[in-house]
Amino acid sequence: MSSRLCNQTERVKRLSSLLALLVAALSAVGCGYHVAGRAANLPSEWKTIAVPAFKNDTTRYRIEQRFTEAVIRQFLQRTKYRIVQNTGDADAVLHGEVLTIETNPMIFNAITGQVTMMLVTVHTKVLLVDNKTQKVVYKNDDIVFREEYQISTDAREFFEEQDPALERLARDLAAQLVSNVVETF
């Protein structure tokens, strides 16, 4: 009986060692993750990018201006590129289009029945073109961005919250979009 116990103990030790070796080998190989903003997959000779105003296919007033400004801010904050106005002076041009914005109620106040949380879904289209070669460097015809936003049940506060909420939405969408473009996911 004790030899059987020794054999089992020996097997457990071997399996543990093999498992530890396997985990170490997989860790050394890597899992494909990397630090955001570090992967520079765009051409290294680029110094400038033009970001013309996004096209707005929605009924939301001036939403394209908010998104364009937010994308420009993200490029300036997170990359080495200089943003220029004139597309002819740029190494690349980023064209964007806001396709749709959908808002769906998610959570209701049980007493009043008013919506307290909305799911906002934005569909955008982005095209990054090398200005010298006219080659498409990045293209995504449907970037989908979803985010939950809490809203006030007080009508006066709701209208005061609308602009900051749209700013947060634009900022969050721009952060995702710039990551996608720079890291070419």
Check residues 102 and 2 and name the one with the higher pLDDT.
102
Residue range of the domain that includes 8? 1-33
Query: Given this model, what pLDDT does residue 36 score?
Result: 39
Within 10 angstroms of residue 114's Cβ, the number of other Cβ atoms is 14
Number of separate domains in the chain? 2
pLDDT, position 23: 43
pLDDT at 182: 86
| Residue 95 in tokens | 């064209």
Distance between CA atoms of residues 21 and 115, nearest Å = 53
State yes or no: pLDDT of 32 exceeds 80. Answer: no
- Cα dist from 8 to 13, 15, 21, 123, whole Å: 9, 10, 20, 58
Residue 101's nearest CA partner among 132, 131, 145 is 145
Mean pLDDT of the chain, nearest integer: 78
Q: What is the average pLDDT across 87-112? A: 90
Is residue 156 one of the residues assigned to a domain? Answer: yes
For residue 6, the model assigns a pLDDT of 56
Is the confidence at residue 132, as pLDDT, over 50?
yes
The pLDDT score that the predictor gives to residue 106 is 86
Q: Looking at the structure, tell me whether residues 24 and 54 fall in a common domain.
A: no
Residues 120 and 80 in one domain: yes
Least confident of 53-57, 85-89, 102-106, 138-142: 102-106
pTM above 0.85, yes or no: no
CB 75 within 8 A of CB 49: yes
Span 10-27, average pLDDT: 49
Provide the sign of the torsion angle of the four alpha carbons 105, 106, 109, 111, taken in this order. positive
What confidence score (pLDDT) does residue 2 get? 54
Note whether 21 and 64 are same-domain residues: no
pLDDT level of residue 112 (50, 70, 90 thresholds): confident
Is 39 part of a structural domain of the chain?
no
Domain membership of residue 24 (yes or no) is: yes
Q: Are residues 65 and 116 in the same domain?
A: yes
Provide the token pair at 23: 């985990």
Residue type, 10: E
Residue 165 above 50 pLDDT? Answer: yes
Of 49 and 14, more confident: 49
